[in-house]
Amino acid sequence: METIFNCLIDSFIADKVGLAEHFLNVPLAAQLKGNLNTLFDSNQLREAGIGNDSVLTQDKLIRSDKIYWLDPKHNDLHENNFFLLMDLFVRHLNSTCYTGITGYEFHYALYETGSFYKKHLDQFRSNKSRAFSMIMYLNADWQQEDGGELRIFNEGNTQTIAPLNGTCVFFKSSELEHEVLVTNVPRMSITGWLKTD
Ligand code: OGA
Ligand code: NI
């Protein structure tokens, strides 16, 4: 685990965008994707909003993904395995980088065909508790023509990242603007934030 954690952290330190392939192992990615499909089939996904006090009709022009928050209270084996992984990562990050992370929140996200998320920052103006953004993709067999790339704007450069199965992206929530390009097939991920008090 340490190797993959360091891969993510070292690339983050090098150019502000941490990137690690196979951050989620194949079974865990498949299990979480299974959960997401079940949530979709049972109509439990909700249209995502922006900010704290958002008006959903306006938000739809900015983002069109559907989400569901993970929660230890669900007592779901795979969610709990995911939380164990995040606990290890946070402990490693705090001990190697003195980041002082004290919590986190994660949601499943489904971008149905044609969905997108326009350029934005992940930190709310009214609440600065989100320190780092983390996105992990659940798309086996992703093809170039499928679209749905994450585009990150980093000091005049843009970086375009395909949402490949198991890949994790990690960056400071207050710093880097980013967008999700229109996806041509259903696109799945776990997205979340590491938080400070
Ligand atoms: C977000 C976000 C990026 C992605 O949910 O805030 O920017 O690649 N997601 O899914
Ligand atoms: Ni974002």
Q: CATH number of the domain that 176 lies in?
A: 2.60.120.620
Ligand 1: nearest atom to the Cα of 179: 7
pLDDT of residue 187: 98
Q: Residue 121 C-alpha to ligand 2 middle, in angstroms?
A: 6
Q: Residue 99 C-alpha to ligand 1 middle, in angstroms?
A: 22
Backbone φ and ψ of 61, nearest 5°: -75, -20
Domain count, the chain: 1
Q: What's the domain range around 152?
A: 2-48+59-195
Residue 100 within a domain: yes
pLDDT digits (tens, 9 = 90+) for 133-146: 999 999 999 999 99
Closest CA to 99 of 132, 69, 75: 132
Residue nearest to atom 6 of ligand 1 (CA): 122
Ligand 1: nearest atom to the Cα of 148: 8
Backbone φ and ψ of 127, nearest 5°: -150, 115
Q: Residue 14 C-alpha to ligand 1 middle, in angstroms?
A: 21
Q: Helix or strand or coil: residue 175? A: coil
Residue 154 within a domain: yes
Residue 53 within a domain: no
Residue 82 within a domain: yes
Residue 189 within a domain: yes
- Give residue 108's identity as a one-letter amino acid code: Y
Q: Give percent above pLDDT 70 in the chain.
A: 96
Rounded distance between C-alpha atoms, residue 169 and residue 133, angstroms = 8
Residue 54 within a domain: no
pLDDT digits (tens, 9 = 90+) for 169-179: 999 999 999 99
Residue 171 within a domain: yes
Backbone φ and ψ of 123, nearest 5°: -95, 135
- What is the reported pTM? 0.95
Residue 33 within a domain: yes
Which of 98-102, 124-128, 182-186 is predicted least confidently?
124-128
pLDDT of residue 165: 98
pLDDT digits (tens, 9 = 90+) for 103-162: 999 999 999 999 999 999 998 777 889 999 999 999 999 999 999 999 999 999 999 999
Please tell me the number of the ligand nearest to residue 189's CA. 1
- Ordered alpha helix ranges (H), 16-129: 26-41, 56-59, 77-97
pLDDT of residue 57: 62
Residue 4's contacts (CB-CB under 8 Å, 6 or more residues apart) are 20, 22, 23
